Amino acid sequence: MKAGRNLVSGGAAAAWLLGLVLVLVVLQTDFLQQITHFTVASITHVSDEMAYKVSSSVSEITRKQQQQLVEVAKSKAPVGMPNTTDSVADAPPSLTSSDEIGSHVVDGIKDLKHENEFLAMDGQIDGSMQNSDVAAPRSKLTCNFSSRHMDICAMEGDIRMHGKSATVYVLAASNDSYWPENGTVTIRPFPRKHEVSTMAKVQEVTIRSSAPVGTTPPRCTVTHDVPAVVFSTGPDSGNFFHGMSDMVIPLYITTREYNGRVQLVVIDYNHKWISRYRDVLAALSIYPVINLDIDNAVRCFPSVHVGIEYHDTLGINPALSRNGYTMMDFLGFLRSVYSLKRPWVTPVNLSFGQRPRLVMILRGYSRVLTNEAEAITAATEVGFEVVAAGPEVVKDITQFAQVVNTCDVIVGVHGAGLTNMVFLPHNGTVMQIIPWGEMKWPCWATFGYPSPGMGLRYVEYEATAEETTLKDVYPKDHAVFADPLSLHKSFDDMYKYFLDGQNVTLDIDRFTGDIKKIYQSITIT
């Protein structure tokens, strides 16, 4: 079917263009207070100084305490703990993984449950293993490099993670595991694989897979009984579109199924990002985030994902998601995270004297509406209650999510602020104002294409050559007007002229007409 094919190629090309267009759509970064009460696991010290166990009981601690937690792990590391990846390769061949269990006991971890976990794990494969010289395989490594957005490795069994060396050890891997050349594979755990400049900001995580016999791994200093998910916050620029599309949604896809019982592990730890999305993180995981960059512990997990799963621009593909999650599920999750009260937009009955609400996203530097006051007046005269949201207002996600959720319509010139559409109630309307310069397609790919998946109605308003401030700068015969597409060939040009280089002066009559149509579609008498 023609439409279907267009959509597919549209999606692929959209991703390409997004890489170019959106990575540079700059939104002011913000300084959230260093707040935060994370919901967190309590830590119980176990028998000696060497190890502690993360229990599943939940309490509240502050970020400061969270830091201390990491410090504790660091200071409790045993003397002589292997501190480099050489520990695997240097091991005497006679040491088997059952020796490894023995050494744990000898080293004085007397937490019976801890011990039993090891035994149980081995017992699943070979109950007699404890007395055997040859360990049975007990771990499995699976990697998928086929997506153009991300590389992902998942591993389960006896998995040990050393933070500072950013290395994950897969102990005694089974023969149906993925076996990288030389037993080592590296992954940059951020889902923009196709963007060289972005990925340069992402540190590599090394995964070392060892055969059942002949290696000794670093010893666990902390044992967790829940899976871990490792991801990078390095490339964060404070841009809300990228925060949602590249990080929050992929994190949801990867971790939601664990219902909070999952350990988030962050490499390239970015305080601002963690602070900004604290509510989402606390809802996805009941444990404090681990900062891998400064973590000297060797943490053992029953399973680990390195990398987060990206499906689409502000989207989730249920067919690719293990639990069939949809974007609607994600939006429901956001509503619960931010305690948003309105799940649906319902037609406004004007006879009750009610007015529909419209939030207008106002930018401060580029793609500014030069006549924003007139635009607000126009929408008000049409009958809307207008909420004008400048950069300062938009900054605080927690507060602004509430504001957007009270509205029926969101309007703004193309930019990251429109991403706040995720907080609109179901069946809300998005109006994207597209700046001059043949920008319709990339703008649509960013916010138009994902709208149906979010249950939102999408409307476009494309600025004409009369509505751009570029006309004050360039003559009519300049390529900016004569052949805008020719300037798309160079990303820098396209950005310079059409994203960074113009403000928009709306034709108020035309704008009023379009706003009125929306008004009529969502009101009754």
Residues that bind ligand NAG (CB under 6 A): 83-84, 137, 144, 146-147, 175, 181-182, 320, 347, 349, 351-352, 365-366, 368, 427, 469, 501-503, 521-522, 524
How far does Cα 399 stand from its chain's mean position? 20
CB of 154 to ligand NAG, least distance (A): 9
Q: For residues 435 and 452, what is the distance between their CA atoms, to the nearest angstrom? A: 22
Residue 350 Cβ vs ligand NAG, minimum distance, rounded to whole Å: 8
Q: How far is the CB of 414 from ligand NAG (least distance, A)?
A: 14
Extract the tokens encoding 5.
Answer: 């094919």
52 backbone dihedrals φ, ψ, rounded to 5°: -140, 165
**Toward ligand NAG, which CB reaches closer, 115 or 460?**
460
Minimum CB distance to ligand NAG smaller for 356 or for 450: 356
Q: How far is the CB of 504 from ligand NAG (least distance, A)?
A: 9
Q: Which is nearer to ligand NAG, 64 or 341 (CB)?
A: 341
Which residue number, 181 or 509, has a Cβ lying nearer to ligand NAG?
Answer: 181
By DSSP bridging, strand 290-291 and strand 167-170 are: unpaired
Q: How far is the CB of 288 from ligand NAG (least distance, A)?
A: 25
98-109 core/surface letters (b: 16 or more CB in 10 A; e: else): bbbbeebeeeeb
Judged by beta carbon, residue 115 or residue 493, the one nearer ligand NAG is: 493
List the beta bridge partners of residue 153.
143, 306
CB 113 within 8 A of CB 148: no
- Residue 309, by phi and psi: left (phi above 0), alpha (psi -120 to 50) or beta? beta
In the complex with ligand NAG, the residue whose CB is nearer, 93 or 353, is 353
The DSSP H or E segment spanning 16 is helix 2-21
Q: How far is the CB of 128 from ligand NAG (least distance, A)?
A: 14
- Residue 331 phi/psi, 5-degree rounding, is -65, -35
| Pairing mode, strands 140-144 and 457-462 | unpaired
E strand or H helix at 134, and its extent?
A: none
Alpha carbons within 13 angstroms on the beta-carbon side of residue 197 total 5
Nearest residue (CB) to ligand NAG, 255 versus 285: 255
Q: How far is the CB of 182 from ligand NAG (least distance, A)?
A: 4
Spell out the residues 6+ positions from residue 120 whose beta carbon is closer than 8 angstroms to its own. Answer: none
| Token pair 């305690």: residue | 339
**Are the C-beta atoms of residues 523 and 347 closer than 8 Å to each other?**
yes
Closest separation between CB of residue 136 and ligand NAG, Å?
6
Using DSSP's 3-state secondary structure scheme, residue 448 falls into helix
**Of 223 and 366, which has the nearer Cβ to ligand NAG?**
366
